[in-house]
Amino acid sequence: MQKLNLTGTSKHQTDDQMKGLSAIFVDGDEVFVDNGAIHAKSRLEVGVKFVPSLDEVPNPRRVEGVWVTLKRQESGLGYTGAMPFELWIDSANKLGYKKLSDHVNQMDKAVRGQVDLSRMSSEAIQKVGQYVQTIRPDLWENATDAFRSAFSS
C-alpha cells in the first residue's frame, strides 16, 4: 500500500499550508501519488522543459492530476479538498506544457477544502475515486460529503 505522507491540519499557516496536500496523477492506466508535484518536481516533470504554448509540444499526451487535501474531522482524518490540474507531456522530446498559475490556483482551492472535478474526464474521476477509496479506506470513511459525492457518481 502506498503511503500518502499527509498529516492534515485544521489551521493554515505559512509553513503548514501544504502538510495536508498531495497530488494524484492519472497517466494512461496508471494512477499514483507524487508529492514532488507540490514543488513542480514530480517524476513526470523532472527533466522536462516546459514551454509557454501547447503548440510547441510535438506529441503531447494529457496527464490529469488532482490536488487532494486532508483535514481532521470529528470522526478522524479524512479527505477534504479536490481540485484538478493537467500536464501535457512529450516524453520522447522531453517537452511539456502546463499552466503554472492554474496549478497554483487549483492547489490553493484544494487547500481551502474546495471540491470541483468538472474539468476532469469521467474516466479519470472514476480511476482516482477507486484509488482514494482503496489506498486508505479510513480517509475515505472520514471524507467530507462533498469529496465523497464528487468521486461517487
pLDDT of 1 higher than 80: no
pLDDT of 18 higher than 70: no
pLDDT of 33 higher than 50: yes
Q: Is the dihedral of CA 53, 45, 136, 126 positive or negative?
A: positive
Structural domain spans, the chain: 21-151
pLDDT at site 62 = 98
User: 15: which 3 cell numbers?
Assistant: 509553513
pLDDT in tens, 50-82: 999 999 999 999 999 999 999 998 889 999 999
pLDDT of 120 higher than 50: yes
Q: Above pLDDT 70, what percent of the chain?
A: 88
Distance in angstroms (rounded) separating the CA atoms of residues 2 and 34: 10
Average pLDDT, the chain: 90
Name the strands in the sheet holding 61-73, side by side, starting at the edge strand that comes first in the sequence: 30-33, 21-27, 61-73, 76-90, 95-97, 49-50
Average pLDDT over every residue of 114-138:
96
- Quick one: which of 100, 74, 76 has its CA closest to 87? 100
Within 10 Å of residue 76's Cβ, how many Cβ atoms? 11
Confidence of residue 12 (pLDDT cuts 50, 70, 90): very low
Distance in angstroms (rounded) separating the CA atoms of residues 7 and 4: 9
